[in-house]
Amino acid sequence: MERLDITLLGRDYTLACPPSEKAKLLEAIAHVDAHMERIKEAGRTNGNERIAVMAAIQIAVELLSMKAPDGPLSNIALGDFKRKIEDMHRLMDTALGPVDHVKR
């Protein structure tokens, strides 16, 4: 594991990550920091904790709105896909009823 010292909104943090994941982690940190800085600059939210929560919500919306690359599911947002899977699970659970788990 590699130790990584970062700063978000003036606060220092130490993270650990495998060297092979360092580039992805630094990219993610830059993405989070950019969101947090935009929220801070807008001036409508006070306090680093509130700014972090608002940034997390914005990033979650981005993630759930992402679409798959070219292919049969390219027109479906990740959040919609996740909801469809959950709906199918509920439908199967209703159709199958309770399942007794048997130990072998």
CATH number at residue 16: 3.30.160.880
Closest CA to 32 of 56, 14, 50: 56
Looking at the fold, whether 1 and 38 belong to one and the same domain comes out as: yes
Kindly report, residue by residue over 21-80, the tens digit of the pLDDT: 999 999 999 999 999 999 999 988 888 899 999 999 999 988 877 776 676 667 777 677
Same domain as 40, residue 86: no
Query: Are residue 37 and residue 78 in the same domain, yes or no?
Result: no
Count the domains in the chain: 2
Q: Which residue in the block uniquely carries the two structure tokens 């800085």? A: 37
Query: Cα separation of 53 and 21, whole Å?
Result: 24
Domain that holds residue 75: 68-96
Q: Is residue 101 part of a domain?
A: no
The angle formed by the CA atoms of residues 80, 83 and 89, to the nearest 5 degrees, is 145
Query: pLDDT for 35-46, tens place per residue?
Result: 999 999 998 888
CB 40 within 8 A of CB 51: yes
Cα distances (Å, whole numbers) of residue 37 to 40, 43, 48, 99, 104? 5, 10, 10, 50, 55
